[in-house]
Each structure stands twice: as structure tokens, then as C-alpha cells.
Amino acid sequence: MKITFPQILISLSSLLLAVVTIVFLTQSPAQFGSESLLFRALVFNFAIVAILVAIYPVNPFSDSGPRIYGIVVCLPAVIPAFIYFLYLLPKQAGEGITAEQLQSQLITDSSSNGIIEVGFRYPIYTPTISVQNREIFTKQANIFFRMTDANGNNALFRGVRSQIFNSGLSVEATVQGMLSNNSGYLFNPLQLPPNHEVSGRVVFIISSLEDGADFTEALGKASQVQFELRDPENGQLLLEFPLNRI
């Protein structure tokens, strides 16, 4: 089969569409995971068909013409995605969220036990956590840090938010502005794609204490220390898991 200039243009355009779609699938798992299962199957198949169209001029089946190529090559290629997204994925999916703390480290000084010294009045705690959404749709969760002392008194701290409106020059807004350009940090609400592990440092401003030494001492004396994941809409507790006293 002789390859013509229009076919080259169509192949290059199809290849570009396939690359753009694949980049979307790999770089935006939270957005992709929030769509319906049928939409996900269609997007995945769009990339497959675009690749098959791109290689049409050099495919042996192209000699039979576009119609036969579509029936013999393209049609069978899109069936597995529908089977996976509409049948297998719902059966394989689990329930709920799992999470654990991985590390408790500093941004600037590894000896500060997860506290960043940035000139603010309050210590800022930045533990590393890992969260996995076992369900088939993207979930959102706000993370909190709770300390309970020997008298049963609770101190609850919300993780720094990704968007802070009408905050002025608050500590939270300043810290968020400093750290938001670093991909290693997670901010509320956490975006949890389906069957995908999300890990990074969460940021807590310990507003009830004066410095890092007080915070380290409070951690040592606390009878219970834990993280909590809550629904951003209604505050419902989704998961709680303990702090590792590293």
C-alpha cells in the first residue's frame, strides 16, 4: 500500500490525540477516577483507536480497506476495556480507605522531629503519610491530627488547606504559599483516586503550643495520638490511624 500525504497527516494527528489522552489518564488519575465507568471505558478506547488509526498505513490489514480494518482490528481492540471497566473493576474493588504514617521528618533540619522552623510563633508538624482509596471512584478527605493528654483533653488540628479564601496574612495562608509549589506536600482536601496510593507530607500548624520543644514534649506525654480522615462535606469520620512515635 502506497502511503499518501493525507494519510501521514491523519496518522500524526491520531498519534497526537493518543498521546494527549494517555497523558491525561496518567497525570490526572483523580479527575479520571471521578467519572463514570462508561466514560472511563470510552476515554481509554479513544486512545486505543487513535493508536490503531495512527498505524493504519503500515498495518498489514490496511490493504483490506478502512471498513474491514475497523471491523477486524479496531472493534475487537475496544471490547476488553468495556469488559474491564463495566464488569471486572466493580467486582475487584474493595471498600473504604487505608492509611499509615511513613515518616516524621523535618523540612530544613533532620533533627527537629518533623517540625519546620520558619520564624512563626507556632511549630509546624509535617509527617509523611500514605493513603490508598480501595473503592472505584475518587474520594476526597480532610486530614486532622488529634492529641489526647493524660487528663483526657483533646487538641485537634486540621491540615493546611489547598485553597484559603479571605485569609489575609494568616499563618496558614503563608505556610500554604511557601509549600504549595512543592509536589511533596499534601493539602486538604486530599484527592484520592481509586485503587491508587497517595503519599506525601501533610502540614499541621500546632497553634496551642509555643515552640518545637513544647510540641515534642507534648507528644511524649500524650496518652493517645492519631490522624483522622473526614468527609469534607459533612465531617463524617472515614478512618483513624495512629501516629508512629518516630
CB under 8 Å to 177, separation ≥6 — which residues?
A: none
Is residue 14 very low, low, confident or very high in pLDDT (cuts 50, 70, 90)? very high
Q: What is the mean pLDDT of residues 227-244?
A: 92
Comparing CA positions, the residue from 104, 158, 100 lying closest to residue 129 is: 100
- Between vectors from CA 199 to CA 193 and to CA 205, what angle results, nearest 5°? 115
Separation between Cα atoms, residue 99 and residue 159, nearest integer Å: 15
Report the SS3 class of residue 133.
Answer: strand
Other Cβ atoms less than 10 A from the Cβ of 245: the count is 11
Q: What is the mean pLDDT of residues 9-38?
A: 94
Q: What is the mean pLDDT of residues 69-83?
A: 93
Residue 176 predicted with pLDDT over 70: yes
Lowest-confidence region among 28-37, 83-92, 94-103, 215-224? 215-224
* Spatial strand order in the sheet of 115-116: 115-116, 124-125, 204-205
CB under 8 Å to 47, separation ≥6 — which residues?
A: 17, 18, 21, 22, 25
DSSP label at residue 161: B
Mean pLDDT of all residues in the chain? 85
Residue 172 predicted with pLDDT over 60: yes
Handedness of CA 55, 61, 65, 66 (dihedral sign): negative
